[in-house]
Structure 1
Amino acid sequence: MTSLSSPSPPLPPAFNRRPASAPETVRSKPSSSPSPTETTSAGRNRRIDVVKEKEREERERREEVALKIASKKAISVILRREATKAVIEKKRGPNNSKKLLPRTVLEALHERITALRWESALKVFELLREQLWYRPNSGIYIKLIVMLGKCKQPEKAHALFLAMIDEGCVVNHEAYTALLSAYSRSGLFDKAFSLLEKMKNTPDCQPDVHTYSVLIKSCLQVVAFDKVQVLLSDMANQGIKPNTVTYNILIDAYGKAKRFAEMESTLLEMLREGKCEPDVWTMNSTLRAFGSSGQIETMEKCYEKFQSAGIEPNIKTFNILLDSYGKAEKYEKMSAVMEYMQKYHFSWTIVTYNVVIDAFGRAGDLKQMEYLFRLMRSERIKPSCVTLCSLVRAYGRAGKAEKIGGVLRFIENSDVMLDIVFFNCLVDAYGRLGCFAEMKGVLEMMERKGCKPDKITYRTMIKAYKIGGMTSCAKELQGLMRMTDETRLEMGKPDFL
């Protein structure tokens, strides 16, 4: 069994706490017996002291009341977003729902846009437009359209675009690019290209390098390389040159598609351009392309060349190196990267932990894998589905069914969102171990979690049943798989296919 040495990442130093200083004691001066004059004066002084004491108590009472009011105001600031949400959910709030503070509504809107909660964001925007102080703002519209594009809501993005025009906002190339992005992200390339042509014929809305880069990226995500070449030719005809972002998008896509010749020619073209200097994103895309395909020596040579060009690595660079070395079983080099990260204080991210945990699991070193999992949790880094998949796969290979049960108990006590990949890993692990009852129980678990089995789920189970000699169960699942295939055929295809 292969073992890896794992230097534990440095923990943050504890905060120094200074003990609270004790209050100074007030020492009273010794006094002799007072004279009658002093007694009268002392009585008057006592009355004055009583008045002062009452004034002091009254002042402290007022201060205490003021502090309570201030505290309530502070709490109200914290709870303001929830109050706004309550008004939004009712849609028709109280009579003063049109007099909310600008900061209250805008903060609520920004929060929902950032979290991609598009339905709630549109409700807040509806409330915003009802305010007495509201003035149409093209920047807010563009942010909403971009958000809707990311959430695959192109029709709603188009509706907002039309509302933006109706309200008299300035519609520039940024607004058109946001709508174009919404169409292309959803695979509506006919509409996206039509909008591109409209931009060319609209004054002050000419497409720029950002517009083309957005469209190129969307085409590459669906492997439409022919459309990318058309766009690059169109850019050249328009006199628009690719920038570093454009080249990085191309290099990354060619690398993921294993089209190394085109990736290298794009990189050379980028270098010839002169104005487009490679950056850390260029380096990471190149390293990932060669590393993921097992070309470790080429990856290392590229790393040296990028470093000699003055490009410094970041945490993503080291994660790529760790992943590449781990999958190539280059454990000594992997350990060297880990030591370098520790020496130069690169804090581990969830990706780092996932990569290293997976490498230990593949190597069969369960002890180190479990140590890293505990360390990850002690540093308050929440495990993801990727983490859990690595654990389940490793335990399945090692024949540790009871350990898989431990992972499931951990899941029950956590809020980790499970996906189909995790369930398929779980099915595969139980199938390997011949735990057919548990494997069948995964389907029930999926139903409870609202996750539907796919082709991989059924194929994995069928394979396990066949190996175990349970042919009747295998035939039953084959029928279910055919039904799944028929359902998938009924789904629509992107308009460019």
Structure 2
Amino acid sequence: MASPSCPALSFLSSSPSSSSSSSSSSSSFFGHVLRSSRLQSSQARCFLALRSQPRKPTSRSPPERRQRPPPRPSSPPKSPEEVKKRHWRVGEFPGASEGSLGSPRATPIKNLKKKLEKKEEAKAWVPTVTEFLSEKIQKKDWQGALEAFSMLRDQPFYTPREGTYVKLLTLLGRSGQAAEAQALFDDMLEEGLPPSATLFTSLLSAHARAGDLDKALAVLNEMKSHPPACHPDAHAFSAVLRGAAAASRFDIVDQLCIDMAARGVPATPATRNAVLSGYAAAGRLDDVERHLAAMLEAGEVDSWTMNIVLGLAANGGHISVMERWYERFRGAGVEPETRTFNVLIAAYAARGMWDKMAAVLEHMRRSGFTWTTATYNNVIEALGRAGEGRHMEWAWEQMRAEGMRPDVRTFCGLIEGYGRAGLFHKVVEVVEMVGRTGAPLTVRFFNAVIGACARAGDLAEMERVFQRMKRAGLKPDEDTFSVMGRAYAQEGMSDKIYELEQERLHGGLEPTQPDPPGLSP
């Protein structure tokens, strides 16, 4: 059963008075703000929890004054005997006499620095081929890594090693270069290096990541024909299972599960979570229930499993099912994490359940859970949907004060919130900030700007943003055409609606992908 410190969802029924650990000045100030606004008491609890989140000291605070050290006592005057006596003959360089107490003149620091720089330049370090290859692999530059490996193979001291090929195959697989991985594997066989289970697993992982399940299964079957040392293990089966679950090929998933049971290969929790995530993405709730019941009986559930199941229920709008599964996971001894609370906050905020959202925020603060970028994104989006641009801006300022790095979702939430609140000058500031930070421009970002322009009635700027979106190589989705169509309909511009519909039919559409609640980086 759940521990008494966090008994399942009991914190959802907590009263506002339980969060009295915040400072009195902050509470009184924010209470005055809430009394002068149009927010309800349930929304006020949410903002009070936000206000009571402790701030980190900023770099703009005035520095502390340093006390000046007391002056050193002056040395007594030297006697005439202690004064340096310098003498030399005609044609000799000046020098100190034997009786002189002075030390030779020190070399200036500036000259020493120049000498050190010259020495460093003279001893310029040139990386070797192996170091150059390691650097390219670390930077995930697969093209540079292949060029460096080609140079390494031309060296007279080159010897094929399994570790080098494993790193290269893994890099090519994560970069989506399955064909290059297969060609590298064939070159390895020509060099006479015997394959191993690790090399085969790296190769089939590359094919599975690329979505080529047929080749991944062919490599898996080839492993079975080799000696027992090359037989597929849990990692090899997991790689193919993840690819099959992501592609919704559940026939392959069931076949591989039967094969694993016949060979006595145990499934890892990561493998089960991957399969569970595939069932959840495909909306196969019965399979999710069956798979999850088996995991609960085997005691192989963790916080990742809980996040997958809660996210599935939240995306479907089943709040009661989400709360029931939360209690069941807590009863099984699974401890929630920050990502878990982000899923709950996003689900409650999307449906305007301010009481429960405020209770989760207060529970996170009392339990010592740090608010992440995803937490602030959920709060900013919730305040934006409520039309509270002023409070949303306060949350944004606190996020920056705590050193949280904003992402594209943060900027989209700010633009949408300012657009709903009618603060269009703030929209311009956010767009300029995105340009300065160099954040990646996505379809959702352009949709948010287009929606703000449509609310402001600036259709000329809306069209310019739409053209810039296409020049950036991004494909408009259903939300783009829907927002622009409504803006043209309000102005009675039937010709623009016709042109937009023709572009929608002939230009193709990019399907709209909603963000999973609370699962952003």
TM-score, normalising length: structure 2: 0.75
Q: Which residue in 1 is equivalent to 2:339?
A: 316
Displacement, 1:268? Answer: 1.8
**Cα distance change on mapping 1:148 and 1:472 into 2, 3 Å:** same
The superposition leaves residues 40-83 of structure 1 with CA deviations (integer Å, 9 ceiling, x where unpaired) of 9999x9735869722x7269899756754687699x77xxxxxx
How do residues 67-78 of structure 1 correspond to structure 2 at under 5 angstroms? 68=117
**Cα distance change on mapping 1:427 and 1:32 into 2, 3 Å:** closer
Displacement, 1:351? Answer: 1.8
* Residue type of the alignment partner of 2:186: L
Q: Which residue in 1 is equivalent to 2:514?
A: none
**Cα distance change on mapping 1:311 and 1:47 into 2, 3 Å:** farther
Q: Which residue in 1 is equivalent to 2:307?
A: 284
Q: Which residue in 2 is equivalent to 1:378?
A: 401
Displacement, 1:460? Answer: 4.0
The superposition leaves residues 9-42 of structure 1 with CA deviations (integer Å, 9 ceiling, x where unpaired) of 43446899896995984764688786xxx99999
1:53 is paired with a residue whose SS is coil
The superposition leaves residues 218-253 of structure 1 with CA deviations (integer Å, 9 ceiling, x where unpaired) of 122222223222222222233223221111112223
Higher relative contact order (CA 8 A, sep 6+): 2
- Determine if the alignment matches structure 1 residue 7 to structure 2 residue 51: yes
**Cα distance change on mapping 1:39 and 1:485 into 2, 3 Å:** closer
Q: Which residue in 2 is equivalent to 1:214?
A: 239
- Determine if the alignment matches structure 1 residue 271 to structure 2 residue 296: yes
| Residues 112, 121 of structure 1: 8 Å contact kept | no
How do residues 61-460 of structure 1 correspond to structure 2 at under 5 angstroms? 68=117, 100-101=127-128, 104-113=131-140, 117-130=141-154, 134-203=158-227, 204-273=229-298, 277-454=300-477, 456-460=479-483
Q: Which residue in 1 is equivalent to 2:14?
A: none
Displacement, 1:151? Answer: 2.2
In the alignment, the residues of structure 2 paired with residue 27 and residue 51 of structure 1 have an alpha-carbon distance, to the nearest angstrom, of 20
Counting aligned pairs with the same residue, the percent is 34
2:139 is paired with a residue whose SS is helix
**Cα distance change on mapping 1:47 and 1:390 into 2, 3 Å:** same
**Cα distance change on mapping 1:257 and 1:319 into 2, 3 Å:** same
| Residues 7, 338 of structure 1: 8 Å contact kept | no
**Cα distance change on mapping 1:481 and 1:62 into 2, 3 Å:** closer
Q: Name which of 57, 72, 75 aligns with 2:106.
A: 57
**Cα distance change on mapping 1:32 and 1:124 into 2, 3 Å:** closer
In the alignment, the residues of structure 2 paired with residue 259 and residue 102 of structure 1 have an alpha-carbon distance, to the nearest angstrom, of 51
**Consecutive unaligned residues in structure 1, runs of 5 or more:** 78-98, 489-497
In the alignment, the residues of structure 2 paired with residue 237 and residue 344 of structure 1 have an alpha-carbon distance, to the nearest angstrom, of 45
Displacement, 1:322? Answer: 1.7
Displacement, 1:166? Answer: 3.0
Displacement, 1:463? Answer: 4.3
In the alignment, the residues of structure 2 paired with residue 39 and residue 426 of structure 1 have an alpha-carbon distance, to the nearest angstrom, of 80
Question: How many residues get paired?
Answer: 457
In the alignment, the residues of structure 1 paired with residue 378 and residue 336 of structure 2 have an alpha-carbon distance, to the nearest angstrom, of 17
Q: Which residue in 2 is equivalent to 1:493?
A: none
* Residue type of the alignment partner of 1:368: H
Of residues 374-383 and 215-224 in structure 1, the stretch that sits farther from structure 2 once superposed is 374-383
TM-score, normalising length: structure 1: 0.78
**Cα distance change on mapping 1:435 and 1:58 into 2, 3 Å:** closer
1:183 is paired with a residue whose SS is helix
Of residues 291-300 and 216-225 in structure 1, the stretch that sits farther from structure 2 once superposed is 291-300
**Cα distance change on mapping 1:487 and 1:268 into 2, 3 Å:** closer
| Residues 344, 360 of structure 2: 8 Å contact kept | yes
2:230 is paired with a residue whose SS is coil
